[in-house]
Chain A
Amino acid sequence: MAEFINFYFIPGLVLGSIYALGAIGISMTFGILRFANFAHGEIMTLGVYFAWSLVQLTSLHPLAVLPIAMVLTVAVAIGVDKAFYKPLRNAPVIMLVIASFGLMLMIRSAVQFFWGVQLKSILPGIQFPWWLFDTIRILPKHVLIIGCAVALMFCVHYLLTYTKIGKAMRAMSDSPELARLTGIDTEKVVMATWVVGAGLACAAGVFLAIDTQVETMMGFKLLLPMFAAAILGGIGRPYGAVAGGLIIGLAEELSAYPWITDAPLINPGYKAGVAFVIMVGMLLWRPTGLFKGKVF
């Protein structure tokens, strides 16, 4: 039991929180701008490298520099939107997908150019776990990640429920035509979507970097699980994305647990495939996702 909690459940929860934060942005851009943003993972990578540089510069804890990294990431995302997505707003949606596909490569190669491809650490040193009841082993960084992720989710919840712009975002996600008719400034909502999406992506990336390491492919590796989480939760449903992220993260980790025999249920090399299978299953069985999102 202790082994299950220590090596499968807690890591699953950590990974799930990271997916959840990333999936909120995917789900909202999909719901509001109506296209699958393939560059979301790379925005995340960029945010991590901003944070890494700030840590080198100030030698502070990554969480202390996170707000600045988030601001920088958001600025880039808004710049990218102005330069590459806005001119295509009236073009067929699929043009935006191709543009995001191109941006994925552009942002990644820019990161590789400026920072190089070597693995880096954002949180140096070895952490000693805390022990609960002598059996449950918790790493302080895991507590930190889950705590911060929950705090950020509450911020998003507050924004969507109590602020004017948050309500406009939900309205536009539900029905863009109706939102436009009722006089909602759509460009402002688009901007807010990038602020939330890119900010959370940066945070998710930094949490992943704290948990593992900094590398240029980290965002791309998260792209599929994030899409899976967004689809599972229902496109345009931020709470669904959170639930979807947690389910995917837990499913990936628990798939390697020796449920039946002594061997892992699924070869850990195929962990990344778990998200994909859940996603396709969901598209077939219930394309609106768990929380009745949109189907395009």
Chain B
Amino acid sequence: MDQLYGYMLYLIALLTMGGIYAVLTLGLNVQWGFGGLFNAGIAGFFGIGAYTSALLTTAPSVRHLGGFEMPYVVGFGAAMLLSGIIAYGIGKVCLKLRSDYLAIATIGIAEIFRLILKNETWATNGPRGVTQIPKPFEGLPEPWNHFAFLGLVLAIVAVLYLMLEVVRKSPWGRVMTAIRENETAVKAAGKNVETFRMEGFVIGCMIMALAGALMAHYLKFVDPNATEPLLATFLVWVMLIIGGSANNKGAIVGAFLIWGVWSATEILTGQLPTELAVRTAYVRIFLIGLALQIFLQKFPQGFFPEVRPKIKNSQSL
């Protein structure tokens, strides 16, 4: 019975993390799937969200800035707002350039953000990170607190999904797709391409920050490792490509699927002796990378290919 209970808790943890990744993947889908914007600095916006919400909602501490004991909603809102403002500043500089440059610039920003987290100890407690972050529903008895948090995450995923489906089918979403496919034609149609790109970039970064805030509250802890590009940027890209970019359903399924594979293989390698387990961790990364390559070459559309919305009235574009 105890074992069954353990499995159930594990499943809840798996779904919660999968859900947080789904939020991230949906954010990337707005940028890459809808608008063809290559953001290689997901980890940076994720980290901005995690730290902002953490510092606003924790109890006062001498180790780091803040400790304002604000409600979660304020934490989440501020995380999204700050990330949006920073994204706007970056977009102003980089969105005019070809996507390769955007990729390089966003990687750079994420790395600079890591440097700030590590160096500005007065604000972030440096490499030791922020601890004792409050977690929604933690007052509830076991295991209901876990269920409730999972419910919150899944509800956010569901709401985001419904909203982004509306966005995708809206004239705005169709213009974004058109920009991705043929920028010149959209310009000729009299649309301001830069504004649309900026909107997509900012919205995507705000969603990523929300995922970061959720992660900080879920783990009750955040340190600069949370912005490790491997887990916070690369894995999200793999999820979206394999799930199917430009498809919101694909983004969600890809997130749960890849997170499931990632975690399941961790259980397997966890059975091995320590020295070997450490080494096989790298095999997992290698295989995830290989899966990405296979999908890029053989199934570039992912599991759920893009479905174009039907245009009811052609005047809207």
Contacts and interface: CB of A to CB of B under 8 A. Distances in A.
B115 A105 contact: no
Contacts of A179: none
Interface string B204-231: 0000000000000000000000000010
B104 A224 contact: yes
Interface residues of A, number: 43
A107 to B, nearest CB: 9
A296 B38 contact: no
Given A106-B289, A276-B109, 6 more contacts: A91-B300, A105-B286, A110-B282, A270-B112, A272-B111, A295-B98
Residues of B contacting A: mostly: helix
Contacts of B98: 295-296
Interface in A213-268: 223-224, 227, 231, 267
A224 B296 contact: no
A112 B112 CA distance: 24
Contacts, number: 116
Interface string B99-125: 111011101110110010011000000
Contacts of B282: 109-110, 112-113
A165 interface: no
A88 B108 contact: no
Interface in B252-306: 279, 282-283, 285-286, 288-290, 292-293, 296-297, 300
Given A88-B297, A109-B289, A113-B286, A97 B103 contact: yes
B241 A109 contact: no
Contact of B293 (A102, A224, A231): A102
B241 A36 contact: no
A105 B285 contact: yes
Contacts of B103: 36, 38, 97, 101
B38 A102 contact: no
A87 B38 CA distance: 21
A101 B101 contact: no
Interface of A: 30, 35-36, 38, 83-84, 87-88, 91, 93-95, 97-99, 101-103, 105-106, 108-110, 112-113, 116, 223-224, 227, 231, 267, 269-270, 272-273, 276, 279-280, 283-284, 287, 295-296
Contacts of B109: 276
B36 interface: yes
Q: How large is the interface on B (under 10, 10 to 19, 20 to 34, 35 or more residues)?
A: 35 or more
B93 interface: yes
B176 interface: no
B246 to A, nearest CB: 13
B62 interface: no
B165 to A, nearest CB: 25
Contact of A272 (B115, B234, B283): B115
Contacts of A116: 279
Interface of B: 36, 38, 40, 93-94, 97-101, 103-105, 107-109, 111-112, 115, 118-119, 230, 234, 237-238, 241, 279, 282-283, 285-286, 288-290, 292-293, 296-297, 300
Contacts of A87: 297
Contacts of A91: 296, 300
B237 A101 contact: yes
A98 B296 contact: yes
B241 A98 contact: yes
Given A36-B100, A91-B300, A269 B286 contact: no
Nearest to A111: B282
A127 to B, nearest CB: 30
Please classify the interface of chain A as helix (H, G, I), strand (E, B), loop, or mixed, using the class held by over half of its residues.
helix
A227 to B, nearest CB: 5
A95 B103 CA distance: 12
Nearest to B99: A94
Contacts of B94: 280, 283
B296 A99 contact: yes
B104, B108, B285 — most chain A CB neighbours (10 Å)? B104
**Centre residue among B109, B111, B118, B241 by max chain A CB count within 10 A:** B111
Contacts of B101: 36, 231, 283, 296
A38 B100 CA distance: 10
B283 A109 contact: yes
A118 to B, nearest CB: 11
A250 to B, nearest CB: 19
A105 B112 contact: no
A227 B104 contact: yes
Contacts of B107: 38, 223-224
B283 A102 contact: no
21 contacts: A35-B100, A36-B101, A94-B38, A99-B293, A99-B296, A102-B293, A105-B230, A105-B285, A105-B288, A105-B289, A106-B290, A109-B286, A112-B282, A113-B279, A113-B282, A270-B115, A279-B105, A280-B93, A287-B97, A295-B98, A296-B101
